[in-house]
Structure 1
Amino acid sequence: MRHLTYLGLLAACLVGTAPLEILLRTQVYSRPRRLLLALLPGLLLGTAWDLYAVHAGHWSFADGYLIGLRLAGLPVEEILFFAVIPLCAVLTLEAVRRRRPDWLIGDEPSADNSSNGSDGMTRR
């Protein structure tokens, strides 16, 4: 059972933030392009950094906490980490925005661009 630890922690993060999408209607999953643009840079950079560090011998992973599936030499859980944790952060940020719309974070549409939705896409 110990081999499911890392995967279990990732699942717990997803389960813990899933209600935000449903209860607060954060619309994170309904904007896949925006979500992909938020997740992809960290996923690519984090995976590349880990590949370098593992192959250079800077660190390794305790196999006892992993399911054993590897992609390009990295545990699948580690690659999932770079998608799951930022996804949970985006869900949390969007939930805060729903509850506190007066808190500005810098990606709000400008006043002269009022036809844009919250994702910056023009609506017709």
Structure 2
Amino acid sequence: MWLRLSYVAVLVLCLIGALWLEPLLKVNVLRRWRRLVLSLLPTLILFGLWDIAAIAAGHWSYDPRQLTGIVLPGRLPIEELLFFVIVPTCAILGFEAVRAVRPHWLAGDE
């Protein structure tokens, strides 16, 4: 049972590691959801299609023992689609948190 949730568990841990930045540092990444969606869409589409093509060609596969079993068209596991949303969101949260704490440092003003 737990092994089937291992990919989901990693994604949840990523979220736990990054979501606290939103309210604590007021980075407003989630509040500006349209901007976030527009930032995520190219990654989601490009890498989603890339994975589907790699699966179809037999170059890429997933261990079904570590997945929930929810599969999207193209045999893409739902966890992989979530990966393309969650990991970039966490990266954006981290970047915006650094920017909120050190705005001059990122601009090159030391």
TM-score range, shorter chain: over 0.9
Aligned-pair RMSD on alpha carbons?
1.1
- When normalised by structure 2's length, the TM-score is 0.92
Report the counterpart of residue 76 of structure 1 in structure 2: 78
Report the counterpart of residue 104 of structure 1 in structure 2: 107
Secondary structure, aligned partner of 2:107: coil
Residues 61-92 of structure 1: CA deviation (Å, up to 9, x unaligned): 00000000000111100011000000000000
Secondary structure, aligned partner of 1:60: coil
| Greater per-residue helix proportion | 2
1:37 is displaced (CA, Å) by: 1.3
Query: In percent, how many aligned pairs have the same letter?
Result: 47
Which sections of structure 2, spanning at least 5 residues, go unmatched? none
1:33 is displaced (CA, Å) by: 1.3
Is the radius of gyration larger for structure 1 or structure 2? 1
Report the counterpart of residue 114 of structure 1 in structure 2: none
Once residues 62 and 15 of structure 1 are traced to their aligned partners in structure 2, the CA distance between those partners, rounded to angstroms, is: 24
Once residues 39 and 96 of structure 1 are traced to their aligned partners in structure 2, the CA distance between those partners, rounded to angstroms, is: 20
Query: Which one-letter code corresponds to 1:7 in the other structure?
Result: V
Report the counterpart of residue 41 of structure 2 in structure 1: 40
Once residues 17 and 107 of structure 2 are traced to their aligned partners in structure 1, the CA distance between those partners, rounded to angstroms, is: 25
1:22 is displaced (CA, Å) by: 1.1
Which structure has more RCO (C-alpha within 8 Å, separation ≥ 6)? 2
Residues 17-36 of structure 1: CA deviation (Å, up to 9, x unaligned): 01100110010011011101
Report the counterpart of residue 30 of structure 2 in structure 1: 29
Report the counterpart of residue 91 of structure 2 in structure 1: 89
Which sections of structure 1, spanning at least 5 residues, go unmatched? 106-124
